[in-house]
Structure 1
Amino acid sequence: MSKKVLIVGGGFAGVWGALAAARLLDQQGKTPADVEVTLVSPDPALHIRPRLYEPAPETMSAPLLPLLDTIGVRFVAGSVAQIRTGAQEVDLIATDGGKLRLPYDRLLLTTGSKLFRPPVPGLEEHAFSVDQLADAIALDRHLAGLAALPDTPARNTVVVVGGGFTGLEVATELPLRLRKVLGAGAKISVILVDTGEVGAGLGVNPRPAILEALESLGVQCLGGSGVASIDAGGVVTASGQRIDAATVIWTAGMRASSLAAQVSSSLDPLGRVEVTPDLRVVGADHVFAAGDVARALTDDQGHYALMSCQHAIFMGRFGGHNAVADLLGLPTLAYRQLFYATCLDLGEWGAVYTEGWDRQVKLTAAAGKDRKREINTVWIYPPAPDRAAALAAGDPMFTFG
């Protein structure tokens, strides 16, 4: 019987993990009869989550079945409910409602993260998000429906909670989106609320460009105050200020998939598992983790991977490669990702592109926007279903450019 490598999660880390696993098996002359690689995910598509702040989110996905078929990876549609590391098997609920039990010889956990929703009164009932595809579609439909409401300041006001990367991209995209819905003459108000200084978490170097973009777009910043409650008509801040708004969008914080806690009790404050340099879960010899569920060092300078598709893609390659290498008795590779860059979309103003952990600004405004389009439409999409190109994309040493 064939050995089994199971990849749980069809996001960026899982897809590139599958590419890397298939690549190493091909190099070793192994077929599915020798080692079967299975990817488990609810939907046979990669949702391009970094683009869900854009209009038309229903178009932000890439089909996976043609690619997986090309590289000989089996796909199972379902969600894992239980991982039993002792028995080396998982229980899952299939998308069609059935229940399955899948054994594994090596497991790669890549189930990503979800938006952190603290117990703020009214958050679950009244706030939108761009966390998952369904969330972004619901927000898009809500924004489109604003034009049918009476023209009031509340209708024309959007409160975005969270001044980090996602909050900034959402807030700076909104003025154009709202004008397209409400008309060029509508008096639009976008208010960005954060417990600290808006954008401070991105560092001092890109901050001037961020502040310039916010000012030019008319986005108001309310820093130093969280949100105490949310209702159908707006929000109340922690300082007691009432903001009437028909739309509240929550972007404040992420947490790793709850499945991480099933493979390890050693979790960081974000719920990520501790891993060894080759991405093996500490205390679970046959389990590897990559992407948002793994707390992994990227270099020898003490920098840990962030919850981002950039790190997930690269980490996924190492995770898929190492799961197969370990199964075949080959040396594993220490995950290293020495190049780090960010590209923050800032709506009509453009974007700011930085390199290095100190975020040295390299491109801004229109030039930054061109780089952002390239990243969002080319770099983060899986390869075409061409076997040679797909396997090459799974190389852990692959770099863009």
Structure 2
Amino acid sequence: MTANVVVVGGGYGGITVARALDDIAHVTLVEPRETFVHNVAALRAAVSPEWTERMFIPYDDLLRHGKVWQERAVRVSADEVELTSGTVLPADFVVLATGSTAPFPAQLEDTGRAAGAARMRAVRDTLTRASHVLLLGAGPIGLELAGEIKAEWPGTAVTLVDPAADLLGGRFSGEFRQELREQLGAMGVRLLLGASLRALPQPGPGELRPFTVTTDDGQVLAADLWFPCFGTGVDTTYLGSGLAAEREPDGRLAVTGNLRLTGHERVFAVGDVTAVPELKMARNAMQQAEVAAANIRSVIEGGPGLSRYRPADDAIVLPLGPAGGATYDPEAGVLGAEVTAQIKRTFHLERILETLGAPAR
């Protein structure tokens, strides 16, 4: 009999698992969005009409034998997945790949392509009219968004505020952070590090309207647009009582070295939803997914054993607009703007298209 594999979540990890097992199992991918959303390119899409169109990719060609079910999972157990419609999908294997949340425009949660594209066009229109943008958070999201804004609109003032004393919370090497500081300075981005706001701005995020805020040391900042660039999380409330015990305090899931949910031989988890101690990035999610898929295949075929996933060392490619940015690799060290821009030129779209079985664009 063909094994039923239900993959919950159609992000980077989910599509990788689903594609890899389509030839050996009956795969059902459960995903509420009508298309895959290439969120890695979202901040470029916030300023570039070209990328707004390119970041939405249909699921139509992902599976030859399985099915993509456009619904949300509301209850997941070790042997079935219940959907919002009440449909219950039986499962011999369950793969949890529901990813994480991040603030807009770094991530789009709209389930429809038209609504998501409209939000991106609206934020670009707002940025076009802004005179001073305040970004809260000097992590990867804040730095990348600052670079995109200044590259597209050099005359727009951009201020980054973060309570941490250094960029990226001091993570990565000093040389890497210094490279970013120098490029941001050359672009005219103002950095206020080691500073907190007494209260969040009013109006709301993304709303164009003049406002002032005060830092904890009494400095008054005036701007007319702001975005939160901090705060990521996961939603694992869909887990039934038999699986919910494996949630960590932050909601992420404890997994074994084989990427099985602890205590459950046929439930796997991959990507940002896991508590694997590594940076939560698309490439790491896809690498986890490859290991999980290989392990499920081994169980189905009665293979000799399961592979272990080795958490990735810290590495990052952080663009600051189409021509800037910095890269840190544990072997190559710090790489500058030219190499970084080349790496991020396509945001690895070609690999995503290949995984989805979609034509080149």
What TM-score do the two structures reach when normalised by structure 2?
0.83
| Structure 2 residue corresponding to 1:198, chosen from 155, 167, 173 | 167
Equivalent in the alignment of 1:322: 295
CA distance in 1 between counterparts of 2:75 and 2:201 reads 34
Check the 8 A contact 1:18/1:37 in 2, yes or no: yes
* 1:229 aligned onto 2:219: no
SS in 2 for 1:111: coil
Question: Offset at 1:203?
Answer: 3.2
Superposed CA RMSD: 2.7
CA distance in 1 between counterparts of 2:245 and 2:173 reads 32
Equivalent in the alignment of 1:129: 105
Q: In the superposition, relative to structure 1, how do residues 370 and 160 fare at CA in structure 2: closer, same or farther (>3 Å)?
A: same
> Mind listing any 5+ residue stretches in structure 1 that lack a counterpart?
26-34, 117-127, 150-154, 180-186, 297-303, 387-401
Q: How does 1:1-400 map to 2 (within 5 A)?
A: 2-22=2-22, 25=24, 35-54=25-44, 55-56=48-49, 57-69=52-64, 72-85=65-78, 88-93=79-84, 98-115=85-102, 129-132=105-108, 134=110, 138=119, 140-145=121-126, 155-178=130-153, 187-196=155-164, 197-199=166-168, 200-227=170-197, 228-232=199-203, 233-234=210-211, 236-239=213-216, 240-259=218-237, 262=240, 263-268=243-248, 270-296=250-276, 304-330=277-303, 331-336=305-310, 341-347=315-321, 349-356=323-330, 360-361=333-334, 363-383=335-355, 385=357
Check the 8 A contact 1:165/1:344 in 2, yes or no: yes
SS in 2 for 1:225: coil
> Mind listing any 5+ residue stretches in structure 2 that lack a counterpart?
111-115, 204-209
Larger deviation, residues 371-380 vs 48-57: 371-380
Question: Offset at 1:78?
Answer: 0.7
SS in 2 for 1:314: helix
SS in 2 for 1:230: coil
Check the 8 A contact 2:325/2:336 in 1, yes or no: yes
CA distance in 2 between counterparts of 1:237 and 1:381 reads 45
Q: In the superposition, relative to structure 1, how do residues 146 and 173 fare at CA in structure 2: closer, same or farther (>3 Å)?
A: closer
Q: In the superposition, relative to structure 1, how do residues 8 and 373 fare at CA in structure 2: closer, same or farther (>3 Å)?
A: same
Q: In the superposition, relative to structure 1, how do residues 282 and 344 fare at CA in structure 2: closer, same or farther (>3 Å)?
A: same
Q: In the superposition, relative to structure 1, how do residues 111 and 222 fare at CA in structure 2: closer, same or farther (>3 Å)?
A: same
Question: Offset at 1:15?
Answer: 0.6
What TM-score do the two structures reach when normalised by structure 1?
0.75
CA distance in 1 between counterparts of 2:332 and 2:160 reads 23
Check the 8 A contact 1:225/1:238 in 2, yes or no: yes
Check the 8 A contact 2:322/2:345 in 1, yes or no: no
CA distance in 2 between counterparts of 1:223 and 1:140 reads 31
Question: Offset at 1:246?
Answer: 2.5
Check the 8 A contact 2:17/2:289 in 1, yes or no: yes
Kindly provide the amino acid, as one letter, of the partner of residue 278 in structure 1. N
Q: In the superposition, relative to structure 1, how do residues 234 and 316 fare at CA in structure 2: closer, same or farther (>3 Å)?
A: farther
CA distance in 2 between counterparts of 1:165 and 1:90 reads 34
CA distance in 1 between counterparts of 2:261 and 2:76 reads 13
CA distance in 2 between counterparts of 1:275 and 1:381 reads 29
Larger deviation, residues 223-232 vs 135-144: 135-144
Kindly provide the amino acid, as one letter, of the partner of residue 248 in structure 1. W
Count of aligned residue pairs for this structure pair: 335
Whose strand fraction is larger, Structure 1's or Structure 2's? 1
CA distance in 2 between counterparts of 1:220 and 1:79 reads 42
Check the 8 A contact 1:160/1:250 in 2, yes or no: yes
CA distance in 2 between counterparts of 1:90 and 1:319 reads 19
CA distance in 1 between counterparts of 2:160 and 2:211 reads 13
Provide, for residues 143-194 of structure 1, a one-character-per-residue CA deviation record: whole Å limited to 9, x for no partner: 31465x6xxxxx4011111111111111111023335xxxxxxx42101111
